[in-house]
Structure 1
Amino acid sequence: MALIECYECKRSISSEATACIHCGAPMAEGQTRAAQPASAASTISFGSLPRNKAVPETFAAAPAPAPEPKVMPAAAGRRRRQQAERAAVPQLDADGVRPVEGWLKIMAFLMPMIFVWFLLRSGHSLKQRLFGFGWLGLLILASTLSPNGSH
């Protein structure tokens, strides 16, 4: 048994092989590349492109396995739940009242028709609500008592 070159892909195969193990080209029985005359061809081949020995050949890799789900320690999950619970509870002042945020103070002063309703959220004191809705009522009263330009 000797190694011969496949006439199709030019790779080494066994002289006893009936077909090339690389490209599948059939081999004539007992016929080697050296013994085969140049004019006698037993099969028709459309050939393949010549191989460049300087370029490494690539092969299709098996698909990567699905990534394992990330396992989180129990303490990390407990810590995240505690942080979410703390974020859900509004921060209260020393007297147990939710402070009015700066943006709400400014917007309730400039556009009370829209932003004073945010004072109805849980945690705001009656004093804060009376102040906000009082300002809204004062602006509504001032706009109804203002002199109209149409006489």
Structure 2
Amino acid sequence: MALIECYECKRSISPEAMTCIHCGAPMTGKHAPLQVSRPATATSTISFGSLPRNKAVTDAFVAEAAPASALEPKVMPAAAGRRRRQQAEQAAEQAVEQQSYVDGVRPVEGWLKVMAFLMPMMFVWFLLRRGHSLKQRLFGFGWLALLIFCVAIAPTPPPV
């Protein structure tokens, strides 16, 4: 595209320019571009303060931004996506826990059964966690009491 010369300031400008970018003179004559019709409701002016205005120069046209389409995916930082996945996983785990405690009683895990049987002095206390039933606690602490009673009544060996 060839540049043309402004008739007022004699500087080079684009032939598609409606006004000179240097002096603001409107383009007239054979080099003037076709006037583009603009909707009256979507026009707005840009003000640069209290500069003198040339009435021959047309006002700048600012197109209104179109609203974002609901079909386009929302761009989000990776941390937000990771956080949402973690929250979803936690909610799924809580839902599984709630399903397993339908009757409100927490099941005794296998490791706790074995360790409470072998070393009740240490592991029976885990039955005091929230959710275990009174029946489970009575079995665990009853086993501990039985072992303590057996040790207490065991005959002591004679001194050597």
TM-score range with shorter-chain normalisation?
A: 0.3 to 0.5
Q: What TM-score do you get using the length of structure 1 for normalisation?
A: 0.47
Q: What TM-score do you get using the length of structure 2 for normalisation?
A: 0.44
